[in-house]
Amino acid sequence: MSRSARTVIARATGATVAVSRLWPGRADRLIIAPHDLRTADATRAAEIYAGRFVFAGKIVTCHGRSIFDLEPPSEDWEVALLGFGWLRHLRAADTALTRANARSLVDDWISNPARKRPLERRPDVLARRVISLLSQAPLVLGDTDGKFYRKYLRGLTREIRYLRYAMFDIVDGVPRLQVLIALCYASLCLANQARHIRAATRRLSDELQRQIMPDGGHISRNPGALVELLSDLLPLRQTFAARNIAPPPALLNAIDRMMPMLRFFRHGDGSFALFNGMSNAPSDLVATLLAYDDTHGVPMANMPHTGFQRLDAGGTTVIIDTGPPPPPNVSQEAHAGCLSFELSSGVSRIVVNCGMPSTGRDNWRTFARSTMAHSTLTYHDTSSCQFVELSAMKRLLQGAPIVSGPSNVESYREAVADGDLLTTSHDGYVARFGILHRRVLMISQDGGRLDGEDTVSPAPGSRAKGDTDFALRFHLHPAVKASRLSDARGVMLVLPNRDVWSFEALDDKVDLEDSVFLAGNDGPRRTAQIVIRQDSRHATSVRWSFVRSTTSAAGTNARRTARREPELPL
């Protein structure tokens, strides 16, 4: 290959890389390579060259053997290896050595198609691998000859064929979209695929219309789905343009709807609210995605189709889950967090849900999905949703979907004299306990105060039955330092920037207990939770408030006794 051809590949940025000119006249050739928006780290190229593969918090060293023949330390690690996303780190280094290393590893994979690895044909892993091999083709093919090029194309074509067959056995939701996105890429990037472009585009369009809600949320109600999908849909839009093919309207409309939803779930520090399987999102990737948003607008307050509300005032943000669980077929990762909320002030998160770890999820999945892992009311330590529990059913359904939960979740929002008032309720406890949970939140106009009231009451037409104990939980972010006040009716909260907030529940005893924050960048971290326990036979409601101090931490306790509590408009 000529030096000028290599220069074209090395310097190519933006949507796509033209590669067909490197091997003119071939009928089976790669025309373009889509852009990979995911962040690359050139320093990891040296680790891979040295035979150290670090994925999902686990390290495997080759010691001269093929990495594909070694026993994976975890499923997450194997998914990362077989997805080939790590090729982007080698491309970021952009040296002859890393190009040769990439070519050697890919050659090792495609030269041994008889390998039997448990996850290699899983549709979402296969889709990720096809997209990676397409987008990183300039890296692998940059210094090669026609023989390896043809071998690469044969291997890639084989993977695409497997992917088409995978459509018959695939989990609904994000994995299905990922497969359709990968097939759309394949039809656009390879020559002589015109007959597949229309079919792939139509199937992707239909699935986007089904899975992306009118307000831009994903049908799974997981904010992380937006990050994953936009990371592939944005380059796909550019790939259509590079082929001089008009992107399908469903693709353009989906992106336009998803972008505002991406902003909706963000706190002031750029992190995402932890609902329905959300873990930590890479801040650099999110910043890249948001750079494609032309509106740069203020997040909307209400997402009625996906089922979330947002209160913003004076730098304070509250994000509330006000929707029922997603349909069972896309609820394998959904949580029982109805009416839970997260609270942040500026760039400091205060109240959070526990979230889901990015790796080792199986160890935490049961707890993370429970209502107790969310900042809301739990009746008799029972989740508001019920999950499939039989192991045989989990294997059959490829997960543990929700089988019952709130079916009627109401929310009513209004502007009042002192701020914004949100009234919500759900019926997730009616079937077992005959109880409705009602939560009222009011944020002051300056954002310095959030008042709440949680009530349990018999559902209309039914009577309370069984146990009567309930608990309110407010999980705190690990960066918040919490100290229970001496009167056991409140907690002082010191944020990383030294701002002081106080939690108050003057009519109830307040406990400070251990909790865990699962969605940290460095894995699960110990934190604290504010807990109020009550019995519905003695009290059916609990009133509480978070108040920002206007001066110093020392004055907080004195002011709390002198301040007159505002009445919540009911």
pLDDT at position 397: 57
Q: Residue 489 and residue 134: Cα distance in Å, rounded?
A: 60
Looking at the predicted structure, is the pLDDT value of residue 157 above 60?
yes
pLDDT at position 114: 67
Q: Are 373 and 475 in contact (CB under 8 A)?
A: yes
- Locate 349 and state its tokens: 């998160």
pLDDT at position 166: 77
Q: How many CB atoms lie within 10 A of CB 116?
A: 6
Looking at the predicted structure, is the pLDDT value of residue 14 above 60?
no
Q: How many CB atoms lie within 10 A of CB 122?
A: 21
Instruction: Please give the model's pTM, rounded to 2 decimal places.
Output: 0.87
The fraction of the chain above a pLDDT of 90, given in percent, is 58
Q: SS3 for 473?
A: strand
Q: SS3 for 436?
A: strand
**Model confidence pLDDT, tens digit, residues 390-436:** 565 556 556 688 888 999 999 999 989 889 999 999 999 999 999 99
Q: Are 20 and 119 in contact (CB under 8 A)?
A: no
Mean pLDDT across 188-201: 87
pLDDT at position 127: 94
Q: Are 505 and 491 in contact (CB under 8 A)?
A: no
- 18 bridge partner residues: 32
- 33 bridge partner residues: 17
Confidence of residue 283 (pLDDT cuts 50, 70, 90): confident
pLDDT at position 395: 60
Confidence of residue 563 (pLDDT cuts 50, 70, 90): very low
pLDDT at position 393: 57
CA angle 11, 15, 20 (to 5 degrees): 70
Q: Residue holding tokens 């491309």?
A: 91
pLDDT at position 9: 33
Confidence of residue 560 (pLDDT cuts 50, 70, 90): very low
CA angle 324, 327, 333 (to 5 degrees): 85
* 431: region left, alpha or beta (phi > 0 left; psi from -120 to 50 alpha): alpha
Report DSSP state, residue 382.
Answer: B
Question: Angle, nearest 10°, between helix axes 75-83 and 123-135?
Answer: 40
Confidence of residue 555 (pLDDT cuts 50, 70, 90): very low
**Model confidence pLDDT, tens digit, residues 330-385:** 998 899 999 999 999 999 999 999 999 887 777 888 899 999 999 999 999 999 99
**C-alpha 68, offset from chain centre:** 29
**Model confidence pLDDT, tens digit, residues 503-544:** 999 888 999 999 999 998 888 999 999 999 999 888 889 999
**What amino acid occupies position 228?**
E
Q: SS3 for 379?
A: strand
- Locate 85 and state its tokens: 């996303």
pLDDT at position 115: 72
Q: Residue 257 and residue 312: Cα distance in Å, rounded?
A: 21
**C-alpha 375, offset from chain centre:** 18
Mean pLDDT (the chain) is 86
Q: Which residues contact 464 (CB under 8 A, 6 or more apart)?
A: 433, 434, 435, 458, 536
Q: Residue holding tokens 């939980």?
A: 473
Report DSSP state, residue 272.
Answer: B
DSSP code string of 200-263: HHHHHHHHHHHHB-TTS-BTT--HHHHHHHHHHHHHHHHHHHHTT-PPPHHHHHHHHHHHHHHH
Q: Residue holding tokens 């199986």?
A: 362
Q: Residue 329 and residue 141: Cα distance in Å, rounded?
A: 40
Confidence of residue 121 (pLDDT cuts 50, 70, 90): confident
Element (H, E) at 120: none
**566 vs 9: which has the higher pLDDT:** 566
pLDDT at position 390: 58
Q: Residue 389 and residue 401: Cα distance in Å, rounded?
A: 9
Which stretch of 46-55, 231-240, 347-356, 549-558 has the lowest confidence by average pLDDT? 549-558
pLDDT at position 1: 40
Task: Count CA atoms within 13 Å of residue 227 on its CB side.
Answer: 25
Q: Residue 103 and residue 152: Cα distance in Å, rounded?
A: 9
Which stretch of 440-444, 470-474, 494-498, 564-568 has the lowest confidence by average pLDDT? 564-568
Looking at the predicted structure, is the pLDDT value of residue 260 above 80?
yes
Q: How many CB atoms lie within 10 A of CB 203?
A: 16
DSSP code string of 42-61: THHHHHHHTTEEEETTEEEE
Q: Residue holding tokens 């656009």?
A: 188
Q: Are 430 and 459 in contact (CB under 8 A)?
A: yes
For the chain, report the end-to-end CA distance as a whole number of angstroms: 75
Looking at the predicted structure, is the pLDDT value of residue 20 above 80?
no
E-assigned strand segments in 25-93: 32-34, 52-55, 58-61
Mean pLDDT across 256-270: 92
- 352 bridge partner residues: 475
Which is it for the CA torsion 63, 69, 73, 78, positive or negative?
A: positive
pLDDT at position 207: 95
